[in-house]
Chains A and B, each alone.
Chain A
């Protein structure tokens, strides 16, 4: 085995693609290497709910055949992971819940179909907060995921399994979903790259819904270039999703090398208020200085309603979730309580047993804010404030191309530290939630360390300006090494 094969696991997708093209190794070899590595390390992390070893080896073999005969898509033979929120035909799809512990999806999500169509090899399905409701991965029925940088810490959530696995070099890339920061916050806490595209950019078909007007699929990788590569495959119009947008998908990779000289970077006053860890603030300011050194100019912008984004989110998201999760009633799929006395008992016990505490709490919050007498005060009010928040961003993007700031107020926190206090947990998402409420693309990239734990730089752009985010991130990564750092237990 050559040196290059020994550290296959640490290579980016782009590097792996080059190696496959050059014939340095086969997809089967690559797949075996990573499956072995998953076997050796996942006990520590709990990043996987299902490892699809057999299917992976088969698709790797198919990819190798395709390559040999000169065929194969742009991801041919390259390994990826899917967050267990994406339906995969014939493979268990749990959404991190007891409710779907035994659920075998009868169809593929559009994202799954597109990546498979491009030749990607799926190694497994990653752990996540139950129904994507959580910011620490502690609400998973399958137990918390651990942060590869410190196993006592949370990797963030809800796409914690995807982030931890990519950070620990168990795979170069994984899909995730982001309703309030569920891709970006775990990316920040694990030192990986996470992008949540514009709402409607990637199809939601087959992605188990949490809050339909906020949910968006994206990716977690180690480089912006890989994110561009994957997003180019995932994005695009889907006739099965009424909310997907019929806009052409640009060639994200083609634009990466354009310098960011002249890029107008917005700095939000409120981002550096109390609440942001002082050491993190230093890293973020240094990262912004790097952008300036590359020719970007900074402009101070104002998001006056930023503080209201978390309460707005915690009305809108639970309201939609309370309705989206009504389909889990024990009748057609999912957990069903034994020996139900009557219909009411069947419903209440199947759902009472199948859902965990946080999910039940959000369902009840959502039920409350929509119920008679409270709708106007909460749901309607939140929809109005949502408008104000979206308008704040619109004004800001009249003056700047991206907004840069922290992804998360602190680096990774210890497992158990916040789980008993929902409000403290919710406030973790203060910097990321606005992009979901306004439907904007957002991205987190590694930009430093505090006490040995990664810090993420958060970038937000106008609708459909993913190219700007990817280019800015790529240029940053060309001049920094934060993304190359590997947690020592996984080197």
Chain B
């Protein structure tokens, strides 16, 4: 970013809550159904129908509030946000306005300088999602699919505490990880279950008042958030430096062109005419209810990371990676529990070979072809010197390919490490005899050549000789 400018960013994250039924109706929230087959009378805004609140969304919002150290409101109120749009069947969205269910929270991210930074969470409120307009494949019309209408959303509004696109992404990632830890959202960004609008403004360094902000919509991946914000920062600075003024408006991010442009449909002035929804009563949450929810809170990423470094003596970066998602952390802990190998070794394998294989096959950890116990079985064989680390990679690939557990693969392929010193000595003797020139050089002081000899011995044993023993025997014989 250009020197002399400061950026101010606030994010509004919409997390779809992972309920079975909608926020105010008994229609399914499952993704991907044929158009309008999951839009019931309530979702369609039929005359005479009424909303009834899903208990699970209240529970989920409460859990979220506790997780971000916020106040869970003893009384919150649903309000109507009135505007006409085809994907909004009733002509109003049921949301929360004056009294949201969660207020005054916080989240810590690592800022650009690597320090912990507190980001304030102004509020989080419950609301219903809108449907979808489909523009492709229709001549002069748009088609409306209301399957998504009424899906519960938690809108999480941050304070304007973020100072760069990178911080915005760090915040969003952290939030993503939290909602998934809490299992209140699947966080699937392709399906739109976790999306974000960004309010962006710039001001010269030292200026107190905020610059005019624009709202960026349609940010449905971490990469787009970063790119859209960076584009917008540059655009605003350029506008101001050219003597112009930033216009307060809603802009859409176009990922194909990597640019933001004003949204045409939102041009007309907005007057949402919020008022309390008379079809719904105030939601009251008792201290006992909150206490019960607190008992159900899982260990959250920050606490888990701290525990991983303390309890397992992991490198902080590794602990960070492993605690990024709850299933990954659970996998790691399950593997540690099932092997005597050092936790750091387990971490190396989970972050290295396992993650590599998952990425290669585009699999989630839950669908891993090698289970935590199976991986532990493999690492146990490294630990007890049955195989070397190098052979283990070969065994892992075979396990991934479905050839059985570690012991089966080791047996079938005859990969068991040679630890019989007599056998290793025989091979060492052969190698020494076959390479008199190198032996002489070694003995003359070129000790680097030890690698050459080890290589030859390993080659001769198809990698199965115990590398430690090979080293030891070689050195002894070469020094004789």
Q: Is there a chain B Cβ closer than 8 Å to A242's Cβ?
A: yes
- Whole-angstrom distance between the alpha carbons of A379 and B280 in the complex? 18
Q: Across the interface, do B91 and A326 meet the contact criterion of CB distance under 8 Å?
A: yes
Q: Across the interface, do B50 and A370 meet the contact criterion of CB distance under 8 Å?
A: no
Determine the main DSSP class of B at the interface with A. loop
Q: Is there a chain B Cβ closer than 8 Å to A75's Cβ?
A: no
Q: Across the interface, do B51 and A327 meet the contact criterion of CB distance under 8 Å?
A: no
B471 to chain A, nearest CB (A): 76
Contact of A323 among B86, B89, B273 (CB under 8 A): B273
Q: Is there a chain A Cβ closer than 8 Å to B82's Cβ?
A: yes
Q: Across the interface, do A95 and B47 meet the contact criterion of CB distance under 8 Å?
A: yes
Q: Most A CB atoms within 10 A — which of B45, B82, B274, B278?
A: B278
- Whole-angstrom distance between the alpha carbons of A243 and B50 in the complex? 9
- A331-B275 contact, Cβ under 8 Å, with A206-B48, A240-B52, A242-B52: no
Q: Across the interface, do A242 and B48 meet the contact criterion of CB distance under 8 Å?
A: no
Q: Is there a chain B Cβ closer than 8 Å to A109's Cβ?
A: yes
- A326-B90 contact, Cβ under 8 Å, with A331-B144, A372-B271: yes
B310 to chain A, nearest CB (A): 48
Q: Across the interface, do B44 and A332 meet the contact criterion of CB distance under 8 Å?
A: yes
Sorting the interface of chain B by its residue count into under 10, 10 to 19, 20 to 34 or 35 or more gives 20 to 34
Q: Is there a chain A Cβ closer than 8 Å to B254's Cβ?
A: no
- Whole-angstrom distance between the alpha carbons of A207 and B279 in the complex? 12
Q: Which chain A residues border B144 with CB–CB below 8 Å?
A: 331
Contact of B273 among A327, A328, A343, A371 (CB under 8 A): A371
Q: Is there a chain A Cβ closer than 8 Å to B363's Cβ?
A: no
Q: Across the interface, do B91 and A242 meet the contact criterion of CB distance under 8 Å?
A: no
A-B contact count (CB 8 A): 99
Q: Is there a chain A Cβ closer than 8 Å to B84's Cβ?
A: yes
- A87-B48 contact, Cβ under 8 Å, with A107-B41, A242-B53, A242-B280: yes
Q: Across the interface, do B91 and A100 meet the contact criterion of CB distance under 8 Å?
A: no
- Whole-angstrom distance between the alpha carbons of A207 and B50 in the complex? 10
Q: Is there a chain B Cβ closer than 8 Å to A473's Cβ?
A: no
Q: Is there a chain A Cβ closer than 8 Å to B224's Cβ?
A: no
- A347-B50 contact, Cβ under 8 Å, with A106-B41, A212-B279, A320-B278: no
- Whole-angstrom distance between the alpha carbons of A105 and B49 in the complex? 11
Q: Across the interface, do B279 and A243 meet the contact criterion of CB distance under 8 Å?
A: yes
Q: Which chain B residues border A474 with CB–CB below 8 Å?
A: none
Q: Is there a chain A Cβ closer than 8 Å to B80's Cβ?
A: yes
Q: Which chain B residues border A251 with CB–CB below 8 Å?
A: none
Contact of B48 among A205, A211, A343, A347 (CB under 8 A): A205
Q: Which residue of B lies closest to A207 (CB)?
A: B48
Q: Is there a chain A Cβ closer than 8 Å to B46's Cβ?
A: yes
Contact of A333 among B47, B53, B86 (CB under 8 A): B47
Q: Across the interface, do A242 and B281 meet the contact criterion of CB distance under 8 Å?
A: yes
A-contact bits for B24-68, CB 8 A (1 contact / 0 none) = 000000000000000001001111111111000000000000000
Q: Is there a chain A Cβ closer than 8 Å to B312's Cβ?
A: no
Complex interface residues of chain B between 418 and 477 (CB less than 8 A to chain A): none
Q: Across the interface, do B82 and A326 meet the contact criterion of CB distance under 8 Å?
A: yes
Q: Across the interface, do B50 and A100 meet the contact criterion of CB distance under 8 Å?
A: no
Q: Is there a chain B Cβ closer than 8 Å to A135's Cβ?
A: no
Q: Is there a chain A Cβ closer than 8 Å to B108's Cβ?
A: no
Q: Across the interface, do B50 and A204 meet the contact criterion of CB distance under 8 Å?
A: yes
Q: Across the interface, do B86 and A208 meet the contact criterion of CB distance under 8 Å?
A: no
A62 to chain B, nearest CB (A): 25
Q: Across the interface, do B281 and A243 meet the contact criterion of CB distance under 8 Å?
A: yes
Q: Most B CB atoms within 10 A — which of A87, A327, A367?
A: A327
Residues of A within 8 A of B (CB): 86-87, 93, 95, 100, 103, 105-107, 109, 204-209, 211-213, 239-243, 319-320, 322-323, 325-329, 331-333, 343, 347, 367, 370-372, 375, 379
Residues of B within 8 A of A (CB): 41, 44-53, 80, 82, 84, 86, 89-92, 144, 271, 273-275, 278-281
* 14 further interface pairs, Cβ-Cβ under 8 Å (given A95-B47, A331-B144, A367-B273): A86-B48, A93-B47, A107-B46, A205-B48, A208-B48, A209-B47, A240-B50, A243-B279, A327-B47, A327-B90, A328-B47, A332-B44, A332-B45, A343-B86
Could you show 6 A-B contacts with beta carbons less than 8 Å apart? A106-B41, A242-B50, A242-B281, A326-B82, A326-B92, A328-B47
Which 4 interchain pairs have the tightest Cβ spacing? A326-B91, A212-B278, A213-B278, A370-B273
